[in-house]
Chains A and B, each alone.
Chain A
Amino acid sequence: MMRGWVIVVGCAVLLAGCQEDGAPRPIHIEKGVYQGTPDTPRSEDELRALQQRTATQRF
């Protein structure tokens, strides 16, 4: 009886550890979908500048 309780409580504790917001990484993985922090996109102006800069390698 006692042992049964230990197992139940133990399982509950373990499952609690699987809470999404308590884990350092996503728990539910949707295959092929990046779920990490999103990166900052580059602005149009920045991209134009980079395009321009590519030409410095011409020789």
Chain B
Amino acid sequence: MARMKFLCDAERCIECNACVTACKNENEVPWGVNRRRVVTINDGKPGERTISVACMHCSDAPCKAVCPVDCFYQTEQGVVLHNKDLCIGCGYCFYACPFGAPQYPQAGNFGTRGKMDKCTFCSGGPEEDMSDAEFRKYGRNRLAEGKLPLCAEMCSTKALLAGDADKVSDIYRERVVARGFGSGAWGWGTAYQTKNGQERDQLRERKQGQ
């Protein structure tokens, strides 16, 4: 078993937002907090592309590196999780994250920030698996139920893939071969690979942004 990864195939993503509402549905995420979003490049123009973005569960997670209270941990499968009992809602992770994943519910009437909330790869948190406490703090633990993140499992065009990285790569590679080109695996360089990969991603974004 390799690690868990997300992959968004930009050739397939049609900006339907199923991933967003599936996440809300499965985890009862409140209004104003978006663990997953769909972003668009060149909206309304030739070259328009969309990508579904959430925590990518990076190999060398910057959020984890900058957290002043070390509330993050990474599972054996590479899923980056955090402990809300330790989180102080400082917001450092938001600045460090290249994907804008961390979310902060407004905690009080004076706009104070609550505990950070983000995609858990549908695998809950450090509370007991599938317990009430886990669900309330982190949402559903689908991995413990033998299922994968609902956003990917419900994706309208199977653009968003989640699961065992080798299998995900296989599925994507088959598509690339069928298409005869491959440029859609957005964010993989940044999340899982080397510095070069990150530069490749940025270059691609710049090109598409033109």
Contact = CB atoms under 8 A, between A and B. Distances in A.
Asked if the two chains touch in their complex, CB atoms less than 8 Å apart, one says yes
Interface of A: 24-26, 29-42, 44, 46-51, 53-59
A30 B67 CA distance: 12
A34 B127 contact: no
A34 B164 CA distance: 25
Interface of B: 1, 4, 65, 68-73, 75-77, 81, 83, 85-86, 125-129, 143-144, 146-148, 152-153, 155, 158, 161-164, 167-168, 170-171, 174
Nearest to A49: B146
Contact of A48 (B1, B77, B147, B168): B1
A57 B5 CA distance: 13
Contacts, number: 97
Contact of A50 (B75, B129, B152, B164): B164
Nearest to B127: A37
B125 A34 contact: no
B144 to A, nearest CB: 7
B70 A51 contact: no
A46 to B, nearest CB: 6
22 contacts: A29-B70, A30-B70, A34-B73, A35-B70, A36-B73, A36-B86, A37-B83, A37-B127, A46-B144, A49-B146, A50-B1, A51-B1, A51-B167, A53-B146, A54-B148, A54-B161, A54-B167, A56-B153, A57-B148, A57-B161, A58-B170, A58-B174
Contacts of A47: 1, 77
Contacts of B127: 37
A37 B131 CA distance: 15
B126 A51 contact: no
A36 B126 contact: yes
A30 B129 CA distance: 27
B152 A34 contact: no
Given A34-B72, A38-B126, A53 B163 contact: yes
B143 A42 contact: yes
B163 A54 contact: yes
A39 B125 contact: yes
A9 to B, nearest CB: 29
